[in-house]
Amino acid sequence: MAKAEKFSVVGQRVQRVDGFDKVTGESKYIADIILPGMLLGKILRSPYPHARILRIDTSKAEHLRGVRAVVTAEDTLKRPWGAFFADQYILSVGKARYVGEEVAAVAAVDLDVAEEALALIDVEWEPLPAVFDAEEAMKAGAPLVHDDKKRNIAVTLDIERGNIQRAFAESDIIVEDTFQSAPQWHCSIETIGSVAEYASSGKYTIYMNSQTLFNARYRIAAALGVPETDIRIIQSAVGGGFGGKSCDDNNALVAAILARKAGKPVKVINSREEEFLAGCRPRVFMKIDVKLGFKKDGRIRAKHIRIIADNGAYSAKAPAITGVAAMRHDTCYKYSDVKTQAYLVYTNKIPTGAFRGFGNPSAEWAVEQAIDIGAHELGIDPMEIARINAAESGYVSPHGNRVTSCELKQCLDMTEKMMDWKKKRADKKPNTGLGLACTVHVSGKRHFGDYDGSSATIKINEDGKALILSGEGEIGQGVHTAMCQIAAEELGVRVEDVEISKADTDLTTFCLGAFASRLTYISGNAVKNAASNVKQQLFQQASEMLEANADDLISHGGRIFVKGAEGKFVTVADAARARLFRHNGAPIVGSGSFDADSVLPDKTRFGNESGAYNYGVQAAQVEVDRETGQVKVLQYVIASDCGTVIYPIGAEGQVEGGFAQGIGYALIEGLQFDEGRPVNPNFSDYRIPSMRDLPPLTHAFADSYEPTGPFGAKGLGELNMDPTAAVISNAIFDAVGVRIKTLPITPEKVLKALTEKG
Amino acid sequence: MAKAEKFSVVGQRVQRVDGFDKVTGESKYIADIILPGMLLGKILRSPYPHARILRIDTSKAEHLRGVRAVVTAEDTLKRPWGAFFADQYILSVGKARYVGEEVAAVAAVDLDVAEEALALIDVEWEPLPAVFDAEEAMKAGAPLVHDDKKRNIAVTLDIERGNIQRAFAESDIIVEDTFQSAPQWHCSIETIGSVAEYASSGKYTIYMNSQTLFNARYRIAAALGVPETDIRIIQSAVGGGFGGKSCDDNNALVAAILARKAGKPVKVINSREEEFLAGCRPRVFMKIDVKLGFKKDGRIRAKHIRIIADNGAYSAKAPAITGVAAMRHDTCYKYSDVKTQAYLVYTNKIPTGAFRGFGNPSAEWAVEQAIDIGAHELGIDPMEIARINAAESGYVSPHGNRVTSCELKQCLDMTEKMMDWKKKRADKKPNTGLGLACTVHVSGKRHFGDYDGSSATIKINEDGKALILSGEGEIGQGVHTAMCQIAAEELGVRVEDVEISKADTDLTTFCLGAFASRLTYISGNAVKNAASNVKQQLFQQASEMLEANADDLISHGGRIFVKGAEGKFVTVADAARARLFRHNGAPIVGSGSFDADSVLPDKTRFGNESGAYNYGVQAAQVEVDRETGQVKVLQYVIASDCGTVIYPIGAEGQVEGGFAQGIGYALIEGLQFDEGRPVNPNFSDYRIPSMRDLPPLTHAFADSYEPTGPFGAKGLGELNMDPTAAVISNAIFDAVGVRIKTLPITPEKVLKALTEKG
């Protein structure tokens, strides 16, 4: 089916539904949430990467004028919590395991008093030997991050599909190399923050800039030891999420216990430094060994990957991320025999976690370079290697991923054309080169409780306007606009006539939230189903009014009419009012739900993890300055297959934003540690790309239709962050023949490699 | 069917669901709603009962430091709005029609500045001749309250059922008299208030202590000329409604236009004086001629009632109230031939409107006295007269009201017994007497757009707890507790495991709100239907888990099991989680709706206006001090037929509260006017009963079951206000032989009557 053309609202460059609020400054970010009597909270953090707490004396702080509550682990259940493993505490119990860990907190009438009170909390520390490197931490005798665990390895994966030994034996050439990825922070313009309120009935109401409200509810309930219903999460406007606002941290929990103790609402917002030290969980840094076997014709015959991943002191989502790094890319190309080994290891550093791309950017950084090495060794155009191996619709990966739509080859064609690849390769200039990489991502992922679904309720007001009630929050990506477009398309109304509620766990039904590029696909389907239910009710009423069969009706632009007879119509408002104001009247309201037709991976991690897979290709032309090592990206092209594009302006924003973070990951970003202590936790020293750092970008969406998607749509958000680092590295190799294998690709590293090469 | 016994939750003395918030002071009344940047608004009111506005100069006020907005009619559409007739303006257009009418308003940083600014608004008035008495206003040549209308009569009713002339001809005795009711104010402990916020997208969010949110939304949208969706009404906690908080006044509209102009949230709360002058619309005062024809055996053969009702300057709900006064009581007794005439007349006084009982307390004040006169003339015990004429289940009134359950005779028996009526009559002491009156009320009333329904959505959280989303607001009467009990009963869970949302027009579906004693019956049925939908989903899931047929399951105390096999069960939480966390998972959520099986009255006002009718009997023993005219109520008994009692503590509160307002109406209350100017608009001079004024009360509920009600329930809230004044007057007549025909029955009036009698 052809994209967008047949739709009235889907695919249109509509106005963003939260645009007015954004441009007028009326959006209420967490800083704007001000409740009567609200106090401000600050957190005392561990100055040590690993240290026992011998004693905490809070009495001086408690007596400071203006202080309303001081909390330590004594105010908690001292019970660990966590996304996958319960190993993290609200406030340090017994010892602290990384620099920045939450030890105590204060709520006071203003921030100055709160900070003064923090200084008055007396903690007697006993520093302990610490371990900062994952490989070191794996060794016998390394200091144990968690005393109750026998070793520092949190997760071990060892999976073989097919016969890897035979496959390498049958390979014509073998490529083997090691690549290292870097810590990367989300650097959302808004840091993590919460405002918590406690009612004496036992209910906590927490305003959060979370991207996963129901997961936050579940985790907070578990950590506080109360039923889910006692936690109400209301999403404030979110100034960027990128995986970092998934409630893997303690911010909201600290606000909650402060609020309970103070008997007043408490706001806790991370400073920028706190955000780096212990806020959003940065990208898992990995050391990745890749071994690939190729046939002479370019077919990949065997793949072996071995990953050592740094968990930091506590497990947030790193267990899942490690699995993704180890396996996801096997859905990009037609693999038969693969082996994957991975170790997730505790260290005395900030817990790592979810960041746009999950494990993909690390894995693709390694694998897409290994493929490029193979292409060069075989003397095959990297574009051709990709084409030869590219997945197609119908492909089933060695791990059971079932591809229902795939336009990877189309994306390769588009990239080739947009980059003028053949001509540029033919006319290669000195010190310039071309690089390419392919990528795959999911549209949702089945791992929370055998569910990868969403739900929504839609009601029609008496003026014919629709309101979507959904717990899927907007985090800046524009998904609320896409959801309104999907509802409008299904209902046959204008997008201006569809509103969407704030996400609020009390008032909406269960939704998993924003991760795994799932929302347009999953919540889009839920909204479409709810709208379809509502449309049925509208058509039933309209059929009486138009004296026609409901099956013969269609709706368009807010009017309902018999197909082919647009002249005689009732409006959606007419039908809604007529359904309500009559004998046996009722408002029009319908709920809809969707759960992806995916499979919870089994013990060997086999199973179709997602309902749909999105694909992309990126290519760069770079020029390397041999004097300075400086890499200049001359041109960048991206082709994305996300099925039908629902909200083009938002989708383009996703491509551009993902690409910018990819460039940062490739060339600029990386937190530096000194004995576990971050040395550049601020925007002066931790640089992210600005507009000046971004090369010209040419982008296009493939003509694609995902049969299980809402109007053919699938995911997109993370896709364009994933392969960028490999693209740049491949292009540098093409330009000057050196290959950088550790991120970021700094001029120093390039210069050093050039010098070594001589 | 017997009452309550068979239920687990219904009929239990459960803890009020909003009890914690109430007793801890955490309930957020309108005074507690504080938004960032919020301004305070004050209103300039007309000092004249009728005056043309020649000029308004707001420039001085606008320039006062701290003033953020000044509004006049120029900031409105100058288009009238209203509940039934559009005849009222947000701010005076051209002229003011009563003392207290809103003329202009100011939003400022504090109330002092706002009040100072009001004083700086320069209005040039031209006082006009005014009319204050409804009978005067009916006369030709009376000053016209509305220039665009030919006369001051807003509504004329003239209805005859049967043949009234023949019926009187066939009567053995005829009683004819005139009774006058008095203005009575609601005197809610919290005055009307609103906080309005305007977003540049065009949307108004209004926190209101309204009892009818969706009606408020409709009216505010109409008055502001925007679609309903552009108005969001969120109910704050409500400190008493009694009909006075039905958005018949301009408070929220003034707040809305101030907020729009100031670009900031604005709070406007009536002072107590403003509440009397122009806030809640007081009870319609009426002059009522009653003519009754009796057969010798006590049967009422004919009834003719003629009402002149004071509309005040604008029509709020008085058009409907006048109809109720003219006709409702005809459902109390078995009437055949009735004639009713009524005139609703504009005067230059505060608009009158909805107050507990609607038109009933005025009508019963008159008719129940006329019946008592007949009883005395015929020498029949008033208890017997009532028994002879009492309606029964199956009765259809002359106006088409169809009575599906009626325990009026049971209530008479109960009253007789509780009062020890026969013995007290036999042992009559000097200056003491017994009085009795019967009453009927509706459980909902079909008049807003041929709809008398409600709707609710219920979802089940993963912890098995249920949340009801409903737009029916709690106004202190305890209906939210009753709704939770109904949901709990239907779902088979504990009432503690059911929560109910705040009423919010954005987040809930259409609900008419709290009036006409409708909520327990109508919203109870809607909640029951939603719960039944949810239970079906739970049972479907549980049937898989228990390997049983869903039809064989029952639930109790949060467990679902096969009938007769309680040992093997799944909990509601188990089922909810299992339904969600599985392939094709979905949250459990269901919507339910109910619309009473009533009929929108036709042009002759014929039709079954309500789904169910509730009945009651009240009796008093009084002692009259012949020296002072003081009336002492020695004992008071009430028997109520409200079907199944869902929430006994709340129901008892309704009886006691209604009775207290009835005593106030009978003996104490009444606003005094001097040339249209209220002279006692405050609690020093307008007295309401305190605990000291209330006689001992004995009360009981009839054993009753309404077949169309949720678990057999019907309405109650207004019933016990309705007949009290007549009961007292009848008892006084029995005690000392004088009959007071104007309200309130002050000692002065009694003394004067005694003196005249000699």
**Pair (B736, B677) in one structural domain:** yes
| DSSP string across A93-128 | SSEE-STT-EEEEEEESSHHHHHHHHHH-EEEEEE-
**Which residues of chain A neighbour B201 with C-beta distances below 8 Å?**
20-21, 26
Cβ separation A587–B228 shorter than 8 A: no
**Pair (B517, B386) in one structural domain:** no
Q: Which residue of A has its CA nearest to B596?
A: A584
Cβ separation A584–B599 shorter than 8 A: no
> In this prediction, does ipTM exceed 0.85?
yes
CA distance B220 to chain A (A): 14
The residue-averaged pLDDT of A351-380 equals 97
Q: B159 in a domain, yes or no?
A: no
Per-residue pLDDT tens digits for B171-224: 999 999 999 999 999 999 999 999 999 999 999 999 999 999 999 999 999 999
Q: Is residue B304 a contact partner of residue B168, using CB atoms and an 8 Å limit?
A: yes
Count CA atoms closer than 13 A to B617's CA, side-chain side.
Answer: 31
The residue-averaged pLDDT of A497-525 equals 96
Cβ separation A229–B584 shorter than 8 A: no
**Which of A278, A296, A329 lies at the terminal end of a domain, its last residue?**
A278
What does the pLDDT read at residue B448?
Answer: 82
Whole-angstrom distance, CA of residue B382 vs CA of residue A237: 68
Q: Which domain holds residue B628?
A: 286-446+601-757
Structurally, chain A folds into a number of domains equal to 3
Give CA angle at B609 (B362, A575), nearest 5°: 130
Per-residue pLDDT tens digits for B384-443: 999 999 999 999 999 999 999 999 999 999 999 999 999 999 999 999 999 999 999 999
**Pair (B559, B492) in one structural domain:** yes
CA distance A593 to chain B (A): 6
- Quote the mean pLDDT of chain B: 96
**Pair (A750, A686) in one structural domain:** yes
Q: Is B240 a residue whose pLDDT tops 80?
A: yes
Cβ separation B228–A593 shorter than 8 A: no
**Pair (B642, B726) in one structural domain:** yes
What does the pLDDT read at residue A5?
Answer: 57
Cβ separation A582–B201 shorter than 8 A: no
Q: B183 in a domain, yes or no?
A: no
CA distance A433 to chain B (A): 48
**What are the distances in angstroms from CA B361 to CA A277, A523, B343?**
70, 54, 17
**Pair (B364, B500) in one structural domain:** no
The residue-averaged pLDDT of A4-24 equals 90
Q: Is A22 a residue whose pLDDT tops 70?
A: yes
Q: A719 in a domain, yes or no?
A: yes
Per-residue pLDDT tens digits for A231-246: 999 999 999 999 999 9
**Which residues of chain A neighbour B509 with C-beta distances below 8 Å?**
459, 587, 589
Cβ separation A463–B507 shorter than 8 A: no
**Which residues of chain B neighbour A597 with C-beta distances below 8 Å?**
583-584
Per-residue pLDDT tens digits for A341-356: 999 999 999 999 999 9
**What are the distances in angstroms from CA A726 to CA A423, A740, B552?**
22, 10, 61
What does the pLDDT read at residue A566?
Answer: 86
What does the pLDDT read at residue B4?
Answer: 44
**Pair (B556, B529) in one structural domain:** yes
**What are the distances in angstroms from CA A593 to CA A487, A493, A709?**
13, 21, 13
Q: Which residue of A has its CA nearest to B505?
A: A461
- By Cβ distance, the residue of A506, A586, A593 closest to B587 is A593
C-alpha closest to that of B440 among B477, B390, B382, B479: B390
Cis ω on the peptide bond leading into residue A696 (within 30° of 0)? Answer: no
Whichever domain contains A223, its CATH number is 3.90.1170.50
**Which of A546, A561, A595 lies at the terminal end of a domain, its last residue?**
A595
**What are the distances in angstroms from CA A625 to CA A628, A751, B280?**
6, 9, 80
**Which residues of chain A neighbour B526 with C-beta distances below 8 Å?**
none
Q: Which residue of A has its CA nearest to B452?
A: A585
The residue-averaged pLDDT of B86-114 equals 98
Q: What is the distance in angstroms between the CA of the first residue and the CA of the last residue of chain B?
A: 54
Q: B7 in a domain, yes or no?
A: no
Q: Is residue B44 a contact partner of residue B71, using CB atoms and an 8 Å limit?
A: no
CA distance A500 to chain B (A): 10
**Pair (B290, B380) in one structural domain:** yes
Q: B4 in a domain, yes or no?
A: no
CB pairs under 8 A between A and B: 140
Number of neighbouring beta carbons within 10 Å of residue A548: 18
**Pair (B434, B501) in one structural domain:** no
- By Cβ distance, the residue of B227, B228, B451 closest to A581 is B451
What does the pLDDT read at residue A2?
Answer: 44
- Quote the mean pLDDT of chain A: 96
Give, to the nearest 10 degrees, the angle between helix B360-378 and helix B382-389.
110
Q: Which of B529, B581, B588 has the most A C-beta neighbours within 10 Å, making it the best mutation to test the interface with A?
A: B581
Cβ separation A465–B595 shorter than 8 A: no
Q: A111 in a domain, yes or no?
A: yes
What does the pLDDT read at residue B671?
Answer: 82
Cis ω on the peptide bond leading into residue A80 (within 30° of 0)? Answer: no
Q: Which of B30, B589, B599 has the most A C-beta neighbours within 10 Å, making it the best mutation to test the interface with A?
A: B589
CA distance B685 to chain A (A): 35
What does the pLDDT read at residue B5?
Answer: 57
**Which of A595, A617, A640 lies at the terminal end of a domain, its last residue?**
A595
Per-residue pLDDT tens digits for A446-472: 988 899 999 999 999 999 999 999 999
B516, B522, B527, B529 alpha-carbon torsion, rounded to 10°: -170
Q: B6 in a domain, yes or no?
A: no
Whichever domain contains B742, its CATH number is 3.30.365.10
| Percent helix, strand and coil across chain A, each to the nearest 5 | 30, 25, 40
The residue-averaged pLDDT of B648-653 equals 97
3-state DSSP call for residue A524? helix
Q: B459 in a domain, yes or no?
A: yes
Count CA atoms closer than 13 A to A720's CA, side-chain side.
Answer: 27
**Pair (A306, A387) in one structural domain:** yes
Cβ separation B451–A199 shorter than 8 A: no
Structure tokens at B510: 């259409």
Q: Is residue A556 a contact partner of residue A574, using CB atoms and an 8 Å limit?
A: no
**Pair (A97, A224) in one structural domain:** yes
Q: How confident is the model at residue A193 (pLDDT cuts 50, 70, 90)?
A: very high
3-state DSSP call for residue B568? strand
**What are the distances in angstroms from CA B398 to CA A417, B331, B415, B706?**
85, 8, 27, 21
Q: Is A491 a residue whose pLDDT tops 60?
A: yes
The residue-averaged pLDDT of B558-586 equals 95
**Pair (A618, A741) in one structural domain:** yes
- By Cβ distance, the residue of A32, A450, A469 closest to B507 is A469
Cβ separation A465–B199 shorter than 8 A: no
CA distance B60 to chain A (A): 30
- By Cβ distance, the residue of A218, A455, A582 closest to B450 is A582
The residue-averaged pLDDT of A58-87 equals 96
CA distance B627 to chain A (A): 55
Residues 6+ apart with CB under 8 A from A220: A204, A206, A231, A233, A247, A252, A253, A256
| DSSP string across B670-696 | ---EETTEES--STTTS----GGGPPP
The residue-averaged pLDDT of B102-118 equals 98
Cβ separation A450–B200 shorter than 8 A: no
